[in-house]
Amino acid sequence: QSVLTQPPSVSGAPGQRVTISCTGSSSNIGAGFDVHWYQQVPGTVPKLLMYANNNRPSGVPDRFSGSKSGTSASLAISGLQAEDEADYYCQSYDSSLGGFVVFGGGTKLTVL
Protein backbone atom coordinates (compact mmCIF):
# COMPACT_ATOMS: atom_id res chain seq x y z
CA GLN A 1 0.00 0.00 0.00
CA SER A 2 1.40 3.36 -1.03
CA VAL A 3 1.35 6.27 1.40
CA LEU A 4 -0.09 8.45 -1.38
CA THR A 5 -3.21 7.14 -3.13
CA GLN A 6 -3.75 7.51 -6.86
CA PRO A 7 -6.45 6.01 -9.08
CA PRO A 8 -5.04 2.97 -10.89
CA SER A 9 -6.21 4.25 -14.25
CA VAL A 10 -7.79 7.16 -16.08
CA SER A 11 -8.64 7.61 -19.73
CA GLY A 12 -9.67 10.28 -22.16
CA ALA A 13 -10.06 10.95 -25.85
CA PRO A 14 -7.62 13.08 -27.81
CA GLY A 15 -8.20 16.74 -27.12
CA GLN A 16 -9.99 16.14 -23.84
CA ARG A 17 -8.88 17.13 -20.34
CA VAL A 18 -8.16 14.60 -17.63
CA THR A 19 -7.11 14.94 -14.02
CA ILE A 20 -5.16 12.55 -11.84
CA SER A 21 -5.60 12.81 -8.10
CA CYS A 22 -3.06 12.12 -5.37
CA THR A 23 -4.49 11.76 -1.89
CA GLY A 24 -2.34 11.86 1.21
CA SER A 25 -2.77 12.65 4.88
CA SER A 26 -1.85 15.08 7.63
CA SER A 27 1.70 13.73 7.79
CA ASN A 28 2.53 14.44 4.15
CA ILE A 29 0.53 16.60 1.72
CA GLY A 30 -1.68 17.91 4.52
CA ALA A 31 1.39 18.99 6.47
CA GLY A 32 2.31 21.31 3.62
CA PHE A 33 5.00 19.24 1.92
CA ASP A 34 5.36 19.92 -1.80
CA VAL A 35 4.03 17.46 -4.36
CA HIS A 36 5.96 16.51 -7.49
CA TRP A 37 4.85 14.51 -10.53
CA TYR A 38 6.66 12.11 -12.88
CA GLN A 39 5.70 10.67 -16.24
CA GLN A 40 6.90 7.19 -17.21
CA VAL A 41 6.23 5.98 -20.71
CA PRO A 42 6.29 2.15 -20.52
CA GLY A 43 9.80 0.77 -20.84
CA THR A 44 11.45 4.15 -20.25
CA VAL A 45 12.91 6.11 -17.37
CA PRO A 46 10.61 8.30 -15.25
CA LYS A 47 10.76 11.96 -16.18
CA LEU A 48 10.08 14.91 -13.89
CA LEU A 49 6.85 16.53 -15.06
CA MET A 50 5.94 18.97 -12.30
CA TYR A 51 7.79 20.11 -9.20
CA ALA A 52 6.74 22.04 -6.12
CA ASN A 53 3.04 21.51 -6.84
CA ASN A 54 2.63 23.61 -9.96
CA ASN A 55 6.00 24.29 -11.57
CA ARG A 56 6.85 22.85 -14.97
CA PRO A 57 10.48 22.04 -15.82
CA SER A 58 11.78 23.46 -19.04
CA GLY A 59 10.40 21.56 -22.00
CA VAL A 60 7.17 20.37 -20.38
CA PRO A 61 4.17 21.71 -22.33
CA ASP A 62 1.78 24.07 -20.58
CA ARG A 63 -0.97 21.51 -21.24
CA PHE A 64 0.22 20.03 -17.95
CA SER A 65 -0.72 21.79 -14.73
CA GLY A 66 -0.62 20.93 -11.05
CA SER A 67 -2.47 21.98 -7.95
CA LYS A 68 -2.60 21.15 -4.27
CA SER A 69 -5.26 21.64 -1.63
CA GLY A 70 -5.56 20.21 1.84
CA THR A 71 -4.40 16.60 1.87
CA SER A 72 -4.62 16.15 -1.92
CA ALA A 73 -2.95 17.20 -5.11
CA SER A 74 -3.95 16.93 -8.76
CA LEU A 75 -2.29 16.78 -12.13
CA ALA A 76 -4.36 18.06 -15.04
CA ILE A 77 -3.61 17.35 -18.67
CA SER A 78 -5.54 19.33 -21.25
CA GLY A 79 -5.63 18.81 -24.99
CA LEU A 80 -4.79 15.11 -24.58
CA GLN A 81 -2.40 13.70 -27.14
CA ALA A 82 -1.51 10.10 -27.93
CA GLU A 83 2.02 10.69 -26.64
CA ASP A 84 0.61 11.45 -23.17
CA GLU A 85 -0.25 7.76 -22.70
CA ALA A 86 1.98 6.77 -19.79
CA ASP A 87 2.12 6.05 -16.08
CA TYR A 88 2.04 9.08 -13.80
CA TYR A 89 3.38 9.14 -10.24
CA CYS A 90 3.00 11.75 -7.52
CA GLN A 91 5.70 12.15 -4.89
CA SER A 92 5.99 14.04 -1.64
CA TYR A 93 7.55 13.84 1.79
CA ASP A 94 6.16 12.23 4.92
CA SER A 95 7.08 13.40 8.40
CA SER A 96 6.42 10.09 10.14
CA LEU A 97 9.17 7.67 11.17
CA GLY A 98 11.79 10.40 11.03
CA GLY A 99 10.78 11.67 7.62
CA PHE A 100 11.12 10.08 4.22
CA VAL A 101 10.19 10.45 0.56
CA VAL A 102 6.93 8.83 -0.54
CA PHE A 103 5.45 8.00 -3.95
CA GLY A 104 1.91 7.36 -5.06
CA GLY A 105 1.11 3.98 -6.53
CA GLY A 106 0.91 5.37 -10.04
CA THR A 107 -1.90 6.02 -12.52
CA LYS A 108 -2.05 4.55 -16.01
CA LEU A 109 -3.35 7.10 -18.49
CA THR A 110 -4.91 5.65 -21.61
CA VAL A 111 -5.61 7.91 -24.57
CA LEU A 112 -8.64 6.40 -26.30
Partner 1 sequence: QVHLQQSGPGLVKPSETLSLTCTVSGDSVSDYYWTWIRQPPGKGLEWIGNIYNNGNTKYNPSLKSRVTIEVDMSENQFSLKLTSVTPADTAVYFCAKDFGGWTMIRGVMTPYDYFDPWGPGARVTVSS
The residues binding partner 1 (CB under 8 A) are: 2, 31-34, 36, 38, 45-48, 51-52, 57, 89, 91, 93, 97-106
What does R_g of the chain's alpha carbons equal in angstroms? 13
* Nearest distance in Å: CB 21, partner 1: 15
Bridge partners (DSSP) listed for residue 101 = 93
Cβ closest to partner 1, residue 10 vs residue 31? 31
81 versus 95: smaller Cβ distance to partner 1: 95
Please, what is the minimum distance in Å from the beta carbon of residue 45 to partner 1? 5
Neighbours of 56 (CB within 10 A): 17
Q: Which is nearer to partner 1, 48 or 76 (CB)?
A: 48
Cα 75 to Cα 112: distance, rounded to the nearest angstrom = 19
Contact by Cβ (8 Å): 22, 4:
yes
